[in-house]
Amino acid sequence: MLGDEVRADEVGGNEGSGDEGRGDEGWGDEGKTALANVLVKALSDALTGLGNRRAMIADLSAAVDPTHPKPTILVLFDLDGFKEVNDAFGHHAGDLLLMEVSLRIRATIRTEDMLARIGGDEFVLLVDVLLIVLAEMLC
């Protein structure tokens, strides 16, 4: 979801799309692109580029929606000893560590999984179990 370009036609303003009344009618493609960029920034962690708490809550809410529930694994984790890194080497070093950890985790998960930094050294990973089951069935 995050990190991908959001196209102007995904933002709305199309007649008959149900998006009427959102206030973006008549913005044109440049306005819709600007709005899409703002939405991406609002759902992204500024330091790591991962999803933020808002994005994670939205994805988790969709996963547990009683009308269309999806089997989902929720993994919460933090970095042991992170405070000591900040104390010993400064916040810049801590930021670099968070960015590197984010890159390494992102490199090991599927694009369909949602990784979010929800604060400090705390992360959440949402894994769509159904996709794993389907992949195993196909192999």
Domain ranges of the chain: 1-42, 47-138
More confident of the two residues 11 and 123? 123
**In sequence order, what are the beta bridge partners of 117?**
123
Residue 78 DSSP SS3: strand
* 13-62 per-position pLDDT tens digit: 444 445 555 555 667 788 888 887 788 788 999 999 999 999 999 999 99
Kindly report the pTM of this predicted structure.
0.70
CATH architecture of 47-138: 2-Layer Sandwich (3.30)
Phi-psi region of 119 (alpha: psi -120 to 50; beta: other; left: phi over 0): left
Helix, strand, coil fractions of the chain, as percent rounded to 5: 45, 15, 35
Active site residues: 121
